[in-house]
Structure 1
Amino acid sequence: MLQIQLNLCFLLFYCIYSASSFQLKNAIDLTHAVNENTIAWPSNTQFTAKQVYKGYTAKEFWYEERVISGSEHSGTHLDAPVHLRDKEGGWSAGDIPLSRLAAPGIKIDISKQSSENIDYQMTTEDIENWEEQHGKIQEGTIVIVHTNRGKLYTDKETYLGRPAGMELPANDVEHLHFPGISSEAARLLVARNVYGVAIDTPSLDYGQSRLYETHRILLGANIYGIENIANTEQLPAKGFLLNCLVQKLEGGSGGPVRVVAFLADPHAEGLVQTGSGNSGKGVHPVFSTTFLLLSVKYYF
């Protein structure tokens, strides 16, 4: 009985220590603000917010309300697997299991290549180079592709990569130039059984794509995409958890998502990371607590 109590004490300490390693002070918001400058795909319905009421009521209390509308694919948003694929099927935004929306994250940095070629597409070599340094990407990881173009988001025309000096309609999609992910790299990520792939550009596919092969490959494998992600320059290559809680839209092809990264406390790195052979897959405090409760139930 004493041994059982000691084991439980150790588990409790482990849970508390693991939970403390992912603290709100280490959180990074990876979401662009939603406002009149929110970027949606040019041919889609743009975001609007109409003020319905703002002021004191007849009962002398303050009240505010707006009516908002726009495409599911506006601002920082999630592409559900049902959105774009070779054949009908896949999860809608409301169907994606919660366990897949909160998971360990990694960052693959292709900012140098993207600065040299605006139409750059991440290659399998980029992924393999990351794995040589940090270990094989683990199943259940959320992959963030960092091009460093998120900083351009407030300048819509530059962010979309339209050539300067051309008078183009607002819904033009023929002259878009920004980096993306190659179809070969997408297939490799499918082979790694990742949960999701995010990028700091308007699309998983590069701007000049016409067939959207990367979308079709990833979403066709029930791997969701996140586009227009923000602040990726603040992330390390690994060692963080991601919460990607999309609106639970029944039948939704996607939806607005608040993406937050929780960085591990470096002093707790020994507990939450398993070494260079791991892509940063750590011990989430929820998992630790669940393990503790299951242990208590088992013993008692």
Structure 2
Amino acid sequence: MPASVDTQSLNPTAPLLTGLLDGSVEVVDLTSPLSEETPLIQLPPERGQPWAFEREVISHYDEAGPTVYWNNIRLSEHTGTHFDAPIHWLTGKDLDDVSQVPPQRLVGPASVLDFSAEAAADPDFLLERHHVEAWQEQHGPLAAGGWLLYRTGWESRQGSQETFLNDRHTPGISPSCAQWLAEETEIIGIGVETVGTDAGQAGEFGDQPYPCHWYFHGAGKYGVTQLRNLHRLPPQGAVLIAAPLPIVGGSGSPARVLALVSR
């Protein structure tokens, strides 16, 4: 009789595939739907403005194309749920554009830090190092080679541009904490529910404006924004998949962001 074969050792992805088929591994969509109503960051007039999502019909089963429906679209690289590459900021200008990000860095473990209660009480709430360290005492170290996903409950505001932007009063991360996370931890990126990785008032931070952009991109790390469904993820153990378009020379891209969660 032939020796028994350990099929799992021959195919290490077998448990994942089995889990996806039997539902014990859930695929959670963290992406906000993209439409003409998607909230968009507003900049001072002198800074230029990103384009909101727009579409123009090419054909819709009509004279222009009786059997086909498709559209042209127009939007900024940083519209909706999107990926920020290092080249997006001055500190990362000589580092990767979005097409150069190694594909293995688009898949990784996720640590989900829930500070939605604090953000509900104070829309200008800033995550500090001591908050992260207290979280680690309870849940373990931040996932090495993975993502810190910062839950603030802000996804509930996505239905309204005014409510979502909140006159630039949105939660974020303090400059000292952003520098520590970017330079002294093994995470590769930060994911948020807000319109950008920085707090709404981050442009006014005297010690370092826009610290998440400044420190993370300078360290060759990434950002993903306008996430949703973070409440469906455990504090540790989910796997994040970020899939931006590989735009050559691109500073970022709208992305489909998924999480795999073992139930």
Which interval holds the TM-score relative to the shorter structure? Answer: 0.7 to 0.9
**Aligned residue among 68, 75, 79 for 2:73:** 68
Aligned residue number for residue 41 of structure 1: 41
User: AA paired with 1:82?
Assistant: I
1:121 matched to which residue of 2?
A: 126
TM-fit CA distance, 1:116: 1.2
Correspondence for 2:224 among 218, 223, 226: 226
CA distance in 2, matches of 1:224, 1:70: 21
Are the counterparts in 1 of residues 86 and 92 from structure 2 also a CA contact under 8 Å?
no
C-alpha displacement at 1:55, in angstroms? Answer: 2.0
RMSD: 2.1
Is 1:29 the counterpart of 2:29? The answer is yes
Q: CA deviation at 1:8?
A: 4.5
Partner Cα distance (2:262, 2:131) in 1: 25
Distance in 2 (CA, whole Å) between partners of 1:24 and 1:246 is: 28
**3-state SS, counterpart of residue 88 of structure 2:** coil
C-alpha separation in 2, matches of 1:58 and 1:227: 37
Q: Distance in 2 between matches of 1:40 and 1:24?
A: 38
Letter in 1 for 2:213: H
2:107 maps to 1:102: yes
On the 8 A contact 1:41/1:202 being kept in 2, the answer is yes
Query: Secondary structure at the residue paired with 1:94?
Result: helix
Alignment CA distance shift 1:252-1:23 (3 Å): farther
For the 8 Å contact 2:8–2:14, the answer to whether it is kept is no
SS at 2:148's partner residue?
strand
**How much does 1:93 deviate?**
0.7
Q: 2:236 corresponds to which letter in structure 1? A: K
Who is 1:189 aligned against?
A: 181
What is the SS of the residue equivalent to 2:243?
strand
Partner of 1:153: 158
Shift of 1:248: 0.6
Residue 180 of structure 2 aligns with an amino acid whose one-letter code is L
Deviates more, 1:8-17 or 1:66-75: 8-17
Match of 2:200 among 207, 215, 227: 207
CA distance in 1: counterparts of 2:64 and 2:79, whole angstroms: 36
Q: Deviations over 1:163-209 (max 9, x none)?
A: xxxxxxxxxxxxx1100112222223221121221000011111011
Q: Which among 72, 78, 84 is matched to residue 83 of structure 2?
A: 78
Say whether residues 1:238 and 2:243 are aligned partners.
no
Residue 177 of structure 1 corresponds to 169
Instruction: State which of 113, 117, 125 in structure 2 corresponds to 1:112.
Output: 117
Given residue 52 of structure 1, which amino acid in structure 2 is its aligned partner?
A: I
Are the equivalent residues in 2 in contact too, given 1:110–1:126 (CA < 8 A)? no
Q: Relative to 1, partners in 2 of residues 1:98 and 1:15: Cα closer, same or farther, differing over 3 Å?
A: closer
Q: Is the 8 A contact 2:92 2:217 kept in 1?
A: no
CA contact (8 A) 1:151 1:231 kept: no
Q: Is contact 1:24-1:262 (8 Å) kept?
A: no
SS of equivalent to 2:27: strand
Contact 1:86 1:216 in 2 (8 A): yes
**Alpha-carbon contact 1:91-1:222 (below 8 Å) kept:** yes
Runs in 1 of length 4+ with deviation above 6 angstroms?
none
Cα distance in 2 for partners of 1:219, 1:102 equals: 18
Supply the distance in 2 between the matched residues of 1:235 and 1:52 (Cα, whole angstroms).
39
What residue is the counterpart of 2:260 in the other structure?
262
CA contact (8 A) 1:47 1:70 kept: yes
Counterpart amino acid of residue 134 in structure 2? N
| Aligned residue in 2 for 1:50 | 56
Change (3 A) 1:140 1:23: farther
TM-score (norm 2): 0.87
Q: What residue identity is the alignment partner of 1:46?
A: A
How many equivalent residue pairs?
248
Of 246, 249, 252, 2:250 maps to 252
Q: Distance in 2 between matches of 1:23 and 1:71?
A: 36
